Structure 1
């Protein structure tokens, strides 16, 4: 659970009430993802708190989608939370070569921002809303604004409506699925360089 009370010009904000919210977020996300690196989705949070379950909900929804171009860590069954975050992020960098991390986490902010999903460049600071000292995570991040900050954040998280969190998680998961489909299409449409070179060489010999 991170904290955000200011927004930068580089960030992209979409509201879960927008009809094309998932499509819009997927376009922004694919604009920022590198084509030549492995992409890892790190879904941060815990199922022990309604407000902080946004990340693991997204992870569980994505786990059922059989994504072709993304690797997903952090689900309701195996959450990526304060107690294991550091070691599991280290594991990700051991398993994947030069991964590009997309960090997904719930966020507290202003009342006017609740219901928005924010896509931003750079890392987030998980646990900052609860004054926890955790390592920053992500090359880009997706923050779901689930509730307001400023007073008794633990209580606020426990009293966040599950419907809001579920709705937000479903739309973010849908946007990532759309982005995955588009990335896979491009990989199929554009053959590897070695294949192009081999076919060109064959034509010359013929």
Structure 2
């Protein structure tokens, strides 16, 4: 996914501090059992590893329904199949790494709407999620695959940890 200026107006831009409030708003409406975190990405690309890193951390915090982890990623090759495995009636929070403008590097864009995975690399996948969180792991470039391959791992790990911790705080799973 790539965040462009016109699309970013539909989403709330926030730093790590705003993430807990985003998850708290969802927690006021739905219990953790009614949610499935759909963490999109692959561990074969540094920048795109945000999804499976986040999914693995969410499991460690005790969230019961997580699709897309390091041992079992949800990526472009299996996204459609993995979506069909989510039980009917679950509220989906889609989480994905994306590229964005330089001013948004390290920020998050949250929305009560779906996101379109792999858009930045030119793939056409279905829009997913009742809620979505796009993490700007690097800057848009003419060569998005290369950019995702060379994104600093430290930034991706830090952002994945921030998302998972904020979700745990928002749902009251931590002190």
Any conservation in 2 of the 1:14–1:25 contact (CA below 8 Å)?
yes
- In structure 2, runs of 5+ residues without a counterpart are none
Aligned residue in 2 for 1:86: 80
Say whether 1:150 aligns with 2:151: no
Aligned residue in 2 for 1:197: none
Aligned residue in 1 for 2:43: 47
**Cα distance in 2, alignment partners of residues 14 and 150 from structure 1:** 22
Aligned residue in 1 for 2:4: 5
SS across alignment from 1:42: strand
Range with greater deviation from structure 2 (169-178 or 31-40): 31-40
4+ runs deviating over 4 angstroms: none
How many Å apart are 1:29 and its aligned residue?
2.3
Higher relative contact order (CA 8 A, sep 6+): 2
**Cα distance in 1, alignment partners of residues 168 and 23 from structure 2:** 11
**Cα distance in 1, alignment partners of residues 172 and 71 from structure 2:** 25
How many Å apart are 1:133 and its aligned residue?
1.3
SS across alignment from 1:176: helix
SS across alignment from 1:181: coil
Aligned residue in 1 for 2:25: 31
**Cα distance in 2, alignment partners of residues 128 and 35 from structure 1:** 29
Say whether 1:104 aligns with 2:100: no
The structure with more radius of gyration: 1
